[in-house]
Amino acid sequence: MSTIQFMQGNIACAEGALAAGCNFFGGYPITPSTEVAEHMAVKLPKQNGTFIQMEDEIASMASIIGASWTGARAMTATSGPGFSLMMENIGYAVMTETPCVIVNIQRGGPSTGQPTMAAAGDMMQCRFGSHGDYSIIALCPSSVQEMYELTVKAFNLADRFRVPVFLMADEIIGHMRERIIIPDKVEHTARRPLESGVLPFHPEKDLVPGFPGFGKGFGVHVTGLTHDERGYPCATNPKLHEQLVMRLCNKIENARKEIADYVVTNPEAETVFVTYGVPARSVEQVLHDTGSKNIGHLRLKMVWPFPEHAIAEFPNATRFIIPELNLGQIAREFDRHTRVPVIQVPKLGGDLHLPAELKKLTGVGI
Amino acid sequence: MAETCELFDCGHRACGGCGAALVSRLILKATGKDVIVVSATGCMEVFSTPYPETAWKVPWIHSLFENNSAVASGIEAALKKQGRKEKVVAIGGDGSTFDIGMLCLSGAFERGHDFTYICYDNEAYMNTGIQRSGATPYDASTTTSPAGKCSIGNSRPKKDLPQILAAHGAPYVATASIAYPSDVVKKIEKAINTPGPCYVQIHAPCCTGWGFEGEKTLAIGKLAIETGLWVNYEMEDGVVTRVKKVVRKPVETYLKEQKRFRHLFKPKVNAEEIAKIQAIADKNAEKYGTDLKLKSKPDPVVP
Mean pLDDT of A122-145: 98
Numbers of helices and strands, H then E, in chain B: 11, 8
A160, A97 contact by CB (below 8 A): no
List chain B residues with CB under 8 Å of A29. 95, 125, 128-129, 131, 144
CB contact under 8 A, A42 and B65: no
Burial string for B27-43 (b: 16+ CB within 10 Å, else e) reads bbbbbeeebbbbbbbbb
Least confident among A188-192, B68-72, B200-204:
A188-192
CB contact under 8 A, A53 and B144: yes
List chain B residues with CB under 8 Å of A34. 128-129, 131, 143
A13, A195 contact by CB (below 8 A): no
Q: Which helix (H) or strand (E) holds B55?
A: none
pLDDT at B299 over 80: no
Question: pLDDT tens for residues A196-214?
Answer: 899 999 999 999 999 998 9
Note the pTM of the prediction, 2 decimals. Answer: 0.93
B-chain residue closest to A41, CA distance:
B144
CB contact under 8 A, B150 and A112: no
- Domain spanning A3-182 has what CATH number? 3.40.50.970
As for how many domains chain B has, the answer is 1
pLDDT at position B4? 60
Give the residue extent of every domain in chain A. 3-182, 263-362
DSSP symbols for B240-299: EEEE--B----THHHHTT-GGGGGGTSSS--HHHHHHHHHHHHHHHHHHT-BPPSSSPPP
CB contact under 8 A, B100 and A55: yes
Residue B272 inside a domain? The answer is: yes
pLDDT at A62 over 90: yes
List chain B residues with CB under 8 Å of A53. 131-132, 144-145
First to last CA, chain B: 42
Q: How far apart are CA A35 and CA A279, in angstroms?
A: 23
Label the pairing between strands B35-39 and B60-62.
parallel
pLDDT at B2 over 50: no
Residue B294 inside a domain? The answer is: no
Closest listed residue to residue A364, CA positions, set A263, A277, A283: A283
Q: Which residues of chain A have a Cβ shorter than 8 Å from any chain B Cβ?
A: 28-31, 34, 37-38, 41-42, 45-46, 51, 53, 55-57, 81, 85, 111-112
Closest listed residue to residue A157, CA positions, set A82, A216, A203, A208: A208
CB contact under 8 A, A31 and B128: yes
List chain B residues with CB under 8 Å of A85. 66
Residue B275 inside a domain? The answer is: yes
Summary mean pLDDT of chain B? 95
Q: How far is CA A275 from the centre of its chain?
A: 15
Least confident among A298-302, B73-77, B294-298:
B294-298
Name which of B131, B134, B150 is nearest A29 (Cβ-Cβ): B131
* CATH class of the domain comprising A263-362: alpha beta
First to last CA, chain A: 46
Q: How far apart are CA B2 and CA B9, in angstroms?
A: 9
B-chain residue closest to A30, CA distance:
B128
Intrachain domains A3-182 and A263-362 with the same fold: yes
ipTM above 0.90, yes or no: no
Torsions phi, psi for B250 (to 5 deg): -65, 150
CB contact under 8 A, A34 and B148: no
Containing structural domain, residue B185:
19-288
For CA atoms A230, A236, A242, A248, give the dihedral sign. Answer: positive
Torsions phi, psi for B34 (to 5 deg): -85, 65
**What is the number of residues in chain B?**
303
What's the CATH code of the domain at B200? 3.40.50.970
